[in-house]
Amino acid sequence: MSLRAARCLSLAMAIATLLISLCTGSRYRNAVPSLHDNPAYTDEQKLLYHLLRQYEKAVRPVRNASHTITVKLGMTMTNIFDMDEKNQVLTINVWLDQEWKDELLRWDPKEFGGIESIRIPCDLIWLPDIVLYNNADDYTEGYMRSRAMVFFDGTVFWPPPTQLRSTCKIDVTYFPFDSQRCSLKFGSWTYHGFQVDITNRSDNVDLSNYVVSGEFELVRVHQKRRVVKYTCCPEPYPDVTFFIHIRRKTLYYLYNVVFPCMMMSVLTLLVFFLPPDSGEKIALGITVLLAFSVFVLAIAEKMPETSDSMPLIGIYLTVVMSMTSVSVVMTVMVLNFHHRGPFNKPVPDWVRVYILDKLRRILYMKLPYTGYGDSVTSAISATGLMRKMSMRLAIDDMLAGDVFGNSDAGGPHSNDSTVTYGHNHTNHVGNNHYMALSNNNYQPPEEDLLNHQLIDETAIDGHGKTVQPRKRKRRSKELNLRLFRTLEMLIKRQEIEDQSNALANEWRQVAQVIDRLLFWIFLVATVFITLLLLIIIPTVHRAMESDEFDESQFGNH
């Protein structure tokens, strides 16, 4: 009984020892004492038991505490995942290559079937606490828990694939023609330089597995080892910093931002070509202004909320929006000139001289009235003179018809000589009217009526003798007089209307000249601003930009 109890007690102690070793992480330490000599286990199992049976991952794997573990750090870049300009975060996919010497993980390959390397879960061995100093993500997940490659001489190589989110100082001055420079600083978080030294694993970053990004062009990647002393501790803290220079590809923004902005700028110019009578000049300007506002809001959502710099495309949109606003104001002024009624003041002389004459000739515009100074006067005079002559001829024809028509009805005293003489006299009267109108000497219709009445009182034959007096009826005279006064009133009213129309037309001509002048001014300004902000400045910037490494150009390092 006692022997059986002793065996059960020893078995229980062995199981307890195994459980304790598993809980403390030393899975293979003294778990099975006869594992090395047991033929049922493979060489790798025996090697793993040999390496980990007395291994403690919580301390540095050195025989002497004064020794320094040198960690060689490298990076294999696979992809630029994202550039968050608003939050100023760069996201990249990399393989973070780490290599160091572990003095406790060495063996003789001859004793283990010629095995020179073994893959061990990284949770079972000591790992350097390499972290990204300027990390923009939390530290809860860390790197992928991949296996570490351990070689017989103690070399450990651990390349965990990971996605790094690093803070990056974004310079949006030349957006969308910008280049960004970001730095990723790696170092030990707790060990100083006398315990864990960090160096470059290779001279350059490995880009053999890099996948080209559709948004950014990778210009250059550089790595540099530095040693920094902080105020908290007297020991040095080495780190390896990777400097990444990327350049934005502009094709997407050209088709979706720049070209639409340029087309809307052309619509701003069309405001000055739209006829004022259409009533859509201001509506077109306001519509273009609202469209620019939408583009500004779309770009503002993408840009970081910073006052350090203003993006180039934002400056362009702001300038073009300002020009559109000014064009709306100028359109209001042009419409004011165009719709000025006849009750406004006449066009000043200096406006006639400098706008209707000189400026019109410079702009190669053809207007109905090419002269200045007497444009309205000449128009009114010519129109009034023609209307007066037409009305006077009509009056003369009526008077001649009254006089000689009644003579013919008088009887036998009317003969051919009398009619002929009467027509000659009438032609003489008409010629006098022409002369009077040409000299701007207008005679009222009452005086003309008296002259005709004198001729109507007596008719003279060819020998100068009185043939027969003829009296007109009073009613006929009053009717003719009323007719003449009505015609005179119509003539005066037409003259006033012609004068008003000529005045309004002259203001319309002023509006046309100003509209054409504003078109050329805005055309030159739009072309200049577009060339300067979207072509010249980005081209000069990229020509002066050097692809060589300059550490001072990287903001966060």
What does each C-alpha distance from 80 to 89, 121, 182 come to in angstroms? 12, 29, 12
Task: Name the nearest CA neighbour of 532 among 257, 320, 309.
Answer: 320
Task: Name the nearest CA neighbour of 304 among 167, 163, 134, 137.
Answer: 167
What does the pLDDT read at residue 549? 57
Is residue 176 reached through a cis peptide bond, with omega within 30 degrees of 0 on the bond before it?
A: yes
pLDDT surpasses 50 at 455: no
What does the pLDDT read at residue 376? 47
What does the pLDDT read at residue 387? 56
**DSSP output for 445-506:** HHHHHHHHHHHHH--B-TTS-B-------HHHHHHHHHHHHHHHHHHHHHHHHHHHHHHHHH
Span 16-40, average pLDDT: 52
Task: Among 349-358, 379-388, 470-479, 486-495, name the one with the lowest average pLDDT.
Answer: 379-388
What does the pLDDT read at residue 269? 86
CA 74, 61, 44: angle at the middle one, nearest 5? 85
pLDDT in tens, 275-300: 777 777 888 888 888 888 888 888 88
pLDDT surpasses 50 at 79: yes
Span 379-402, average pLDDT: 55
pLDDT surpasses 50 at 356: yes
130: left (phi over 0), alpha (psi -120 to 50) or beta: beta
CA 358, 359, 364: angle at the middle one, nearest 5? 100
Q: How far apart are CA 58 and CA 126, in angstroms?
A: 6
Bigger pLDDT: 523 vs 349 = 523
Task: Name the nearest CA neighbour of 186 among 243, 129, 130, 245.
Answer: 130
What does the pLDDT read at residue 148? 94
- Helix (H) / strand (E) element for 323: namely helix 312-338
H helices of 67-211, where? none
Span 195-200, average pLDDT: 94
DSSP structure class, residue 409 = T
How many alpha carbons lie under 13 Å from residue 22 in its C-beta half-sphere? Answer: 8
Task: Among 47-51, 263-267, 475-479, 546-550, name the one with the lowest average pLDDT.
Answer: 546-550
- Helix (H) / strand (E) element for 179: namely strand 179-188
* Cα 441 to chain centroid, rounded: 67
Q: How far apart are CA 159 and CA 148, in angstroms?
A: 8
What does the pLDDT read at residue 208? 92
What does the pLDDT read at residue 300? 80
Phi, psi of 65 (to 5 degrees): -65, -20
H helices of 197-311, where? 251-253, 259-270, 281-302
pLDDT surpasses 50 at 528: yes
Span 525-536, average pLDDT: 91
What does the pLDDT read at residue 508? 77
pLDDT surpasses 70 at 386: no
Q: How many CB atoms lie within 10 A of CB 494?
A: 14
pLDDT surpasses 60 at 416: no
Task: Name the nearest CA neighbour of 328 among 283, 263, 279, 293.
Answer: 283
What does the pLDDT read at residue 527? 92
Please state the pTM of the whole predicted model.
0.66
What does the pLDDT read at residue 1? 46
What does each C-alpha distance from 67 to 57, 63, 103, 193, 196 come to in angstroms? 17, 8, 11, 11, 9
What does each C-alpha distance from 176 to 183, 299, 316, 474 come to in angstroms? 21, 10, 12, 95
pLDDT in tens, 473-511: 566 777 777 887 888 788 877 776 766 666 767 777 777
Cβ partners under 8 Å of residue 212, min gap 6: 218
Q: How many CB atoms lie within 10 A of CB 113?
A: 11
